[in-house]
Amino acid sequence: MLRKKILGLLVILTLLVSVPIQAAEFPTKEVQVIIPWAAGGATDLIFRALAPHAAKHLGKAVVIVNRPGGGSAVGYTEGAKAKADGYTLTSAVTPLTILPHQVTTAYTYKDFEPVINVVSDPSMFLIRSDMPWKNLREFVDFAKKNPNMITVGNSGAGGGVHLVALAFEKAAGVKFNHIPFSGGGPSVTAILGAHINAVSVSPPEGIEHVKAGKLKIIALFAEKRLEMFPDVLTVKEQGIDFAMGMWRGLIAPKGTPADAIKKLHDAFKLGMEDPAFQKTAKDMAVNLSYLGPEAFGKLMANDHEFFGKLVKEIKK
Amino acid sequence: MKILKRDEAIVGVVIFLFGAITTFLSLKMPIGTLRMAGTGFFPLCLGILLMILSAAFVLKLLVQHKKDVIQKEVVAKTPGVIRQMGLFLGAMVLATLFFNELGYPLTSFLLMAALLWSLGMKRWVFNLLLSFITAGASYFLFVQWLKIPLPKGWIGL
Amino acid sequence: MFESLQHLATGFTIAGTVQNLLYCLIGAIVGTLIGVLPGIGPIAGIALLIPATFSLNPTSAIIMLAGIYYGAMYGGSTTSILLNVPGETASVITCIDGYQMAQKGRAGPALAICAIGSFIAGTIGLFGLVFLAPPLAEAALAFGPPEYFSLMIFGFIVLSNVTGTSLLKALMMATVGLIIGTIGLDPVTGDARFVFGSTYLLGGIEFVAVAIGLFGIGEVLTNVHQPQELLDQRVTVPRFRDLYPSLQDLKKSIASILRGAGIGFGVGLVPGPAPVIATYSSYMIERKISKHPEEFGKGAIEGVAGPESANNSACQSAFIPLFVLGIPFAPPTAILLGALLIHGVSPGPLLISQHPGLFWGVIASMYIGNFILLILNLPFVPLFANILRIPKKILLPLVILFCITGMYTVNNSIPDIWVMLLFGALGFLMRKWAYEGAPLLLALVLGPRLEIAFRQSLMISHGDFGIFINRPISMVFLLATVLFLIIPLIRMTLKKQRKEGGL
């Protein structure tokens, strides 16, 4: 008899506990940001720096999750398929609009909603300071005379900086030997160890080493010079009409409710404006460039078209 | 516990087949050359390697003079044990299937109860009480205190 | 050098304030709890708690994070020993002899020696860090794609048969591991392999799922495969004097600990899965050097002391590349990198000179974290050991619950759990037919890197295989591999000749 009573009590308890709890306001738990590359790369570093500042304004933690693989395909595929509840963001970087043209991906930028753009950085080539090439002219001349000899590392086959290197090849009329690595971290390590001749990167990858004098910028693919290194000439200034960079922002799966997007956007915008973050960005030679959801969406659409054409050109 | 030579050989053949399937599938991918390896190159080598290794293994078994070794594994054959395994596995599979829908606290409660029962815990009250306490304690520890994300299910916990 | 010591002393005073010690303690406790749950490791633990550190100043924040990091590592060893469930990558080897010791009622000494060994290794690692950091970082840089390849080949061949059972079976399991490692995207071109259209497989098979499945779930299933009367029993009832290591235990272990610390420190410098390689190497060496190798696999304390020490010192030296080069080689150091960035510090060659207070404060705090964990864990050893008093009937379901929970927390992915269960079934079968899981796991970890290194090397050299031989470090590893394979064959042939000659 007692046993039955206890059993009954347990059943009632379980049922009581099962009463659904009212859905609270967004966000009720932490927000994840998927980074489709290994830890230590440019995107990773920038968003790791931004995360806590945004979290302050969001009221919940912002957690960085690395999902490297397939030159960003794995991360973006996961990001596109995540639940559209606002808790899973993905860091959108230019390769999002490039990779779908090169391989069949399960996503395009259209599977996402733009939230905010944070950064817009030029790309560049770095070489070790003890290399014989003193300036871009010498570098390009050597490449012309020795096609396919200069090894240029990148953070992943088909990735952003790889494409920049390929596009530069066309503009300069040379051919390099591209060596893929699993991210910006490994590629910079490789050049520090002199295993490759040059490396294609985007700030803040390698910046600390340029500051320390171990590496130097041999080619800067920007419209104007960098604030941190005012003596470094851009490639355009030296006669090759070429500039290409990366934008980095945040996107959410298509169908994410508008108010969640607004809250996320506002939190990250305030985080960007935080003076502590601005100082960190400056230290990393990273160029902040805010864009709201609409403008960012347009940018992605434009670049998607642009790279579609570029990839076709390069494949020829 | 000794193992029948015949069983060892069968396992060896199964592994050989795994290697064969790998080889077959990788041939469908671009192989490239040794110098400029394609996508399928590495798996192809591995598939072939596995076939060689398992073939060598089986051959070694056949060549050995030793007779069949007597098996002492009587325990495995009793139907009770197999039923026990089946129930145990079944409980795990069901729990995984409905993990998301039911949510963490409910799933852990049901899973514990089912597993305990499959292993012969006949005392109902104790079983359910223990499951309840375990599920509750782990819920509070992991979800509430450590704030680890676990599925919420229709209960909403 | 003396400057460094001075700095270190300053670091200790910073880290040693009551407040900071408290933060470290909290971190250690939280870390241990997290580490005990299989799957979720230091990475997730630190990541989850970074927000809690906002209100603290940089040094205190990083001290707390260091506490969590070490706590999680210790927690991982605990589940390896008690339940044969590897808490994280590096705990796999601890399962082998640690679990056997627990089965024999010697869980206490195993747990304690982990704590003690890790602490000693941590001390040695600290000195290494302090005095040798810059030159060691340079050494790490000398490893390029060809060196990685040769190192991986060496590790692969030498360490496959880590447990000493059949070499052929070990190589077969290793090859299976390599094949499983190819599932997903081709690391060089990005094309899908063996994916069969599944998005989950695109990301590859999660290592933790395989590890927990093969070892943890496999062991549980093996136990379930027993008549009910046996299940009513407890695993063991440890006697009081078996709760702590005996003097003999300590004597046996000290050499292993020192060796492990040395191995770990050296291996930890190389980018990549350093702790895994360190633990496997230490186990292998201990087994080969031991005067009674047959004990390994059945509960030899050296097989726990060595690898655990190696694990700890590998984690210490993994910080060197982070601080000196600013490049994180492993996920936990990446988190630390993030933490540094948050507090406005960008790691790089200039870090040590520009922020000496932070650097040395962190180093000191890492050591304090180590120390606190020793103090925290030793009293808990009897408590943990007594977990094994729970009858199997109840213990086994609990283990399953924790495995499934823990697995989910790694990627929030149900397919991971399926993989874990699948490998659990596989682990059960492998146990039945005497195949080892350790080689498979090693191959799963090393495989993708091996492939990348191989293809990168050939791309750099335009297809010239000489690149592997022309570079000294690479050559050394390849030679060592060849010798390792040939020497036993030569010995066998010589033995045969002697036998025949003697007739």
Domain boundaries, given as residue ranges, for chain C: 2-141+245-413, 461-503
For B149, nearest residue in chain C (alpha carbons): C409
Considering only CB atoms, C463 lies closest to which of B35, B46, B147, namely: B35
Pairwise CA distance, residues C493 & C374, whole Å? 50
Pairwise CA distance, residues B46 & B150, whole Å? 38
Most confidently modeled range among B16-30, C325-339, C399-413: B16-30
**Contact at CB, A14 and B132, closer than 8 angstroms:** yes
Number of Cβ within a 10 Å radius of residue C51: 19
What is the per-residue pLDDT for B74? 42
Report the share of chain A in percent with pLDDT over 70. Answer: 89
Closest approach of B149 to chain C, Cα-based (Å): 7
Q: Closest Cα partner for A61 from B105, B140, C44, C406?
A: C44
The single-letter code of the amino acid at C311 is N
Chain centroid offset of residue C478 CA = 24
Considering only CB atoms, C418 lies closest to which of B29, B96, B141, namely: B96
Considering only CB atoms, A21 lies closest to which of B109, B149, B156, namely: B156
**Contact at CB, A77 and C54, closer than 8 angstroms:** no
What is the reported pTM?
A: 0.79
Is B105 an interface residue toward A (CB < 8 Å)? yes
**Contact at CB, A17 and B157, closer than 8 angstroms:** yes
What is the per-residue pLDDT for C342? 61
Is B106 an interface residue toward A (CB < 8 Å)? yes
Interhelix angle A42-58/A258-273, rounded to 10 degrees, is 110
For B4, nearest residue in chain C (alpha carbons): C433
Contacts of C188 in chain A (CB under 8 A): 157, 180
Per the CB < 8 A criterion, the answer to whether C22 and C149 are in contact is no
Cβ–Cβ pairs < 8 A, chains A and B: 28
Closest approach of C329 to chain A, Cα-based (Å): 8
Per the CB < 8 A criterion, the answer to whether C311 and C80 are in contact is no
**pLDDT tens-digit profile of B67-117?**
555 444 444 456 677 788 888 888 899 888 888 778 888 888 888 888 888
Residue A18 has pLDDT above 60, yes or no: no
Taking domain A121-221, whether its CATH number is 3.40.190.10 is answered by yes
**Contact at CB, A29 and B156, closer than 8 angstroms:** no
Considering only CB atoms, C40 lies closest to which of B26, B29, B148, namely: B148
Closest approach of C219 to chain B, Cα-based (Å): 13
What is the per-residue pLDDT for A107? 86
Residue C433 has pLDDT above 50, yes or no: yes
Closest approach of C397 to chain B, Cα-based (Å): 6
Distances (CA, A) of C202 to A92, A182, C345: 19, 16, 36
φ, ψ dihedrals at A86, nearest 5°:
90, 0
Q: Is the ipTM of this complex over 0.95?
A: no
Considering only CB atoms, A20 lies closest to which of B124, B125, B155, namely: B155
Among B126-140, B143-157, C139-153, the minimum mean pLDDT is found in B143-157
Taking domain A29-120+246-315, whether its CATH number is 3.40.50.1970 is answered by no
Considering only CB atoms, C327 lies closest to which of A106, A188, A207, namely: A188
- B interface test, pick of C43, C161, C186, C459 with most B CB neighbours within 10 Å: C186
Which chain A residues touch B if contact means CB-CB below 8 Å?
A: 3, 6-7, 10, 13-14, 17-18, 20-21, 23, 29-30
Is C387 an interface residue toward B (CB < 8 Å)? no
For B23, nearest residue in chain C (alpha carbons): C179
Q: Closest Cα partner for C216 from C446, C445, C431?
A: C431
**Contact at CB, C184 and A188, closer than 8 angstroms:** no
**The dihedral sign for the CA sequence C167, C173, C177, C179:** positive
Q: Where are the domains of chain A?
A: 29-120+246-315, 121-221
Residue C331 has pLDDT above 70, yes or no: no
What are chain B's partners, defined as 3 or more CB pairs within 8 angstroms?
A: A, C
- As a residue count, chain C comes to 503
**pLDDT tens-digit profile of C58-96?**
667 777 777 777 777 777 788 888 888 886 777 888 888
Complete DSSP assignment for A200-252: EE-TTTTHHHHHHTSEEEEEEESSS--SS-TTPPPTGGGT-----EEEEEEEE
Band (B52; pLDDT cuts 50, 70, 90): very high
Contacts of A74 in chain C (CB under 8 A): 184-185, 202-204
Contacts of C411 in chain B (CB under 8 A): none
**Contact at CB, A40 and C334, closer than 8 angstroms:** yes
Per CATH, A29-120+246-315 and A121-221 having the same topology is answered yes
Considering only CB atoms, A20 lies closest to which of B128, B129, B156, namely: B156
Distances (CA, A) of A217 to A139, A196, A210, A229, C348: 12, 15, 7, 9, 17
Residue C126 has pLDDT above 90, yes or no: no
